[in-house]
Structure 1
Amino acid sequence: MKKLSFDQFTKRIYIRSTPEKLYWCWATEEGITSWFLRAATFSRNGERLQPDKPVSKGDSYTWMWHNWDGEEKGQILEANGSDFIVISFAGNCKVTVSLKKADEAVLLSLTQSDIPTDDDNKLKVHYGCSNGWTFWLANLKAYLEYGIRLNETEFDLRNEELAGYEFVNM
């Protein structure tokens, strides 16, 4: 058994979809804003990619969430065009998403690694991102299997200091 630690975590979920559809959900502006983000921009060599164009290694991104005024900026570290993508995230962390066909579903595995292990990062990155990805992967499943999104877009939670830690559908 792998040992649990604060420098990384893995979340897995079976989703009844195709690897192609799931990859589109992660690797295109059109896809990632359909279930996850308020807005996203993917760029290659300083030029914005078309919303339906998949990312490649070396591309950059800017992500904006519902209910949060900040932005997440990072790089596409790996992207094979079908079932594997790695991005920089939350500073110097890496998020790896891999897809594996499993009978009538796809097993999506997400690992966030290279998390600093000081107390601040244990709370904000390990705890915060681990909880966040758990919700967002369930949201992706609900979206693809049932056509609904569970994230909060109706109520403005930006003025609630602990919203990101207390609301389960942030």
Structure 2
Amino acid sequence: MKLESKAILQIQKPIEDVFEGIVNPEKMTKYFISESSGRLETGKDVTWKFPEFNTRFSIKEVKTEKPSFISFVWDPETIVKITLEKLPDNSTIVRVNENGKDFNENNLKWALENTGGWANFLACMKAYLEYGVQLRQGAFDFMRKK
């Protein structure tokens, strides 16, 4: 059995705006990461840095299908898939699924933590794209190594 983390949220913005909010590092640095080496584009690897960690994360095997799908690997055991669905009112449902880890105690902890992490990603993205609010700013300063 493989474990997965999942999160879903509706964002009151057109699908094209939400897609751009995920693939464009200028937008992502307002709600998720602090640095990126480039846009998420098919076949292009990028590096992300989060404000609360000194470590940089390699984002590999990027695939995008504008305006409805993004996937990448940042953990060799898993793949992240982000699916966007346009609704009749011109809002967008965003589904995040990360899966691939075998079932064991450590990986169960991973699944629970990442599910919360992806829910946070979606909430922060919604606040930024809809209202320009940067919810993540200062939210995880307590995690920084001193």
TM-score interval, smaller chain: 0.7 to 0.9
User: RCO greater where, 1 or 2, for CA within 8 Å and sep 6 or more?
Assistant: 2
Question: Would the alpha carbon gap of residues 95 and 154 (structure 1) be closer, same or farther in structure 2, given more than 3 Å must change?
Answer: closer
Deviation at 1:27, TM superposition (A): 1.2
Which runs of at least 4 in structure 1 moved beyond 3 Å after TM superposition?
none
Asked if 1 retains the 8 angstrom alpha-carbon contact of 2:8 and 2:95, the reply is: yes
Aligned length in residues = 144
Asked if 1 retains the 8 angstrom alpha-carbon contact of 2:21 and 2:129, the reply is: no
Question: Would the alpha carbon gap of residues 154 and 137 (structure 1) be closer, same or farther in structure 2, given more than 3 Å must change?
Answer: closer
- What does residue range 72-111 of structure 1 map to in structure 2 within 5 Å? 72-104=57-89, 105-111=91-97
What is the aligned counterpart of 2:106 among 102, 110, 120?
120
Question: Considering only aligned residues, what root-mean-square deviation do their CA atoms show, in Å?
Answer: 2.1
Asked if 2 retains the 8 angstrom alpha-carbon contact of 1:6 and 1:122, the reply is: no
**How many Å separate the matches in 2 of 1:62 and 1:20?**
23
With the length of structure 1 as denominator, give the TM-score of the two structures.
0.76
What is the aligned counterpart of 1:15 among 11, 15, 22?
11
Q: Percent of pairs identical after alignment?
A: 20
* SS in structure 2 of the partner of residue 13 of structure 1: strand
Deviation at 1:155, TM superposition (A): 7.2
With the length of structure 2 as denominator, give the TM-score of the two structures.
0.87
Which residue of the partner structure matches residue 31 of structure 2? 35
Deviation at 1:89, TM superposition (A): 2.3
**How many Å separate the matches in 2 of 1:9 and 1:153?**
25
Gaps of 5+ in 2: none
Question: Would the alpha carbon gap of residues 155 and 111 (structure 1) be closer, same or farther in structure 2, given more than 3 Å must change?
Answer: closer
Gaps of 5+ in 1: 43-53, 161-170
What is the aligned counterpart of 1:137 among 122, 128, 135?
122
**How many Å separate the matches in 2 of 1:32 and 1:62?**
13
